[in-house]
A and B are shown apart, each in its own frame.
Chain A
């Protein structure tokens, strides 16, 4: 009796495994067809393109001819100050924006988690609001808020005696940082607040019994307990920030410090669609992808280490 059941079970298991194979294929097919066509194939095509350069004859009539150039596009990229300065801009932008944003988000999340905070649900909704605004529309809003005559911000700034000049490199960095801080802080507040909810009660209780004050508990215990979430959020912010595109493209009209190749993404766009230098654009975008991919990979590694 018992053996009979076992054999039936094995049979069923074997049959279900075979069945599983065909079904897996059917269930996975839609994803893999789309994934390979629209993600893997473009990357591979980029790799192919990056080895060629388009030579146009004379005025460009009669079409362009592809010439194999090997790794010349890559060599050109790592020596191209136009491409590399984009990385410098992004690095400065990250240094300015990310510490402020993460620090602010942490402070606000800790305050929101404290017993003194009122109307938590309302605050959370209000803080989250900017996150649903597309970057382009946020840039339009802030562009007006950076315009003298419209914005009280500019008036306040000018009472200090300084002149408002969005044209300088520093002002451009500040404007973009503020825009990003506005867009992303609230989201991270919600994220950190959610992480704070998982801090075990007994630890907090014990600290209170030991006479620790609210501020001390917040900084010494709570902030430390969610440091994993903070680290991962920081690195993800870096990866996102590196791909900056729409916001500076819009602010370009207002600030002469921002040119068409101000970020790596803008540089690639400009190379491909204004200069039609697709081979070079492919090489730069692959270099950029390797950098971002490497960073994301580090994030995932770190994330799983933090979580385990």
Chain B
């Protein structure tokens, strides 16, 4: 969840049109490119592609095996196809606990990211468009927050949460993830480069309320920023394993990763858990892959501004 200060590049990045289309054929010396160097370049790319994709392919193949084939057959060859059996077992194991974990993950990451987007953009909009005493000092305070690693707040959070009865509740994991100083930082940048001040002034003169201006005028203009912050927050929550590990002991509240971790720690005692871990890992990945693939054009643009992750 490393914040990337590269976001400061956003305005410049926007001014530079993507040169991907058209340019290559427009001027590049295609004739000078000989056959062998073309092969080498693409061969290296294919090799790297194998490196990124093969472990996931292994997961896909392993998910079709039962435990004895998982350990008894080579990783990249198929054995008896047990995919459907594995899926049924996964979703019915211990009264369908895995399905609950998936729902929890969506609640933590999905709802949490929506809340994070709302909170960040309200604040970012206020910092960019409102005038109030001590504005830059407050903003400096937010930026200091970017420097605080989540790893450090987790232990005191647990102790505080146990003081007020938030330990082992949904809120104990949900609430701490919402306020993101880095999200506010990005929101302010997007507000200043995507929402013209004059537009806000005009709406004010027309008598529109501030919340209405924010929702109807500013927010739609900042859509790429909103998707960027959403994805950033989503993947941060999705990846956050430390906080739920500390906060939760009731397995009904676990996110999928923590649930899979507890299954994994039982493999030693009962190897049958191994294939549940494998199929569970695969199923956990599918929603994120779908989410990122469907929002591809947003993060590919957002990543140019370095705002993602």
Contact = CB atoms under 8 A, between A and B. Distances in A.
A123 B49 contact: yes
Interface in A93-123: 104, 107-108, 111-112, 114-118, 120, 123
Contacts of B131: 17, 20-21, 24
Interface in A280-304: 281-282, 285-286, 288-289, 292-293, 296-297, 299-300, 303-304
A140 to B, nearest CB: 6
A245 B53 CA distance: 24
B217 interface: no
Contacts of A140: 260, 264, 277-278, 281
A127 interface: yes
Given A43-B152, A304-B5, A28 B45 contact: no
A240 B205 contact: no
A303 B76 CA distance: 43
A230 to B, nearest CB: 11
A229 B6 contact: yes
Contacts of B27: 201, 205, 208
Interface stretch (B80-88, B90-98, B220-228, B289-297): B289-297
Interface string B145-181: 1111111110111111000000000000001101101
B52 A23 contact: no
Nearest to B13: A198
A239 B285 CA distance: 26
A201 B19 contact: yes
Given A134-B257, A152-B74, A292 B210 contact: no
Contacts of A38: 153, 157, 175-176, 178-179
Contacts of A104: 48
Chain B interface bracket (under 10, 10 to 19, 20 to 34, 35 or more): 35 or more
Given A24-B130, A300-B5, A35 B142 contact: yes
A223 B8 CA distance: 20
Interface stretch (A67-75, A76-84, A167-175, A183-191): A183-191
A115 B257 CA distance: 41
B153 A145 contact: no
A82 B239 CA distance: 27
Contacts of B33: 115-116, 214
B16 A128 contact: no
B37 A214 contact: yes
A41 B160 contact: yes
A142 interface: yes
B221 to A, nearest CB: 17
B70 interface: yes
A117 B179 contact: no
Given A27-B122, A208-B29, A299 B210 contact: no
A151 B54 CA distance: 11
Contacts of A24: 126, 130-132, 135
A248 to B, nearest CB: 12
B126 A197 contact: no
A273 B157 CA distance: 13
A285 B142 contact: no
B55 A145 contact: yes
Nearest to B74: A152
A191 to B, nearest CB: 6
Contact of B75 (A31, A137, A144, A185): A144
A136 to B, nearest CB: 5
Given A144-B62, A194-B304, A136 B260 contact: yes
B103 interface: no
Contacts of B145: 35, 39-40
Interface of B: 1-6, 8-9, 12-13, 16, 18-20, 23-24, 27-30, 32-33, 37-38, 41-42, 44-45, 48-49, 51-53, 55-56, 58-59, 62, 70-72, 74-76, 118-120, 122-123, 125-127, 130-133, 135, 138, 142-143, 145-153, 155-160, 175-176, 178-179, 181, 184, 201, 204-205, 210, 214, 235, 238-239, 241-242, 246, 257, 260-261, 264-265, 268, 277-278, 281, 284-285, 288-289, 292-293, 296, 300, 303-304, 306, 308-309
Interface of A: 12, 16-17, 19-21, 23-25, 27-28, 30-32, 34-35, 37-43, 45-46, 49, 104, 107-108, 111-112, 114-118, 120, 123-138, 140-142, 144-145, 149-152, 182, 185-187, 190-191, 194-195, 197-198, 201, 205, 208, 214, 229, 232-233, 236-237, 239-240, 243, 245-246, 250, 253, 265, 268-269, 272-273, 278, 281-282, 285-286, 288-289, 292-293, 296-297, 299-300, 303-304, 307
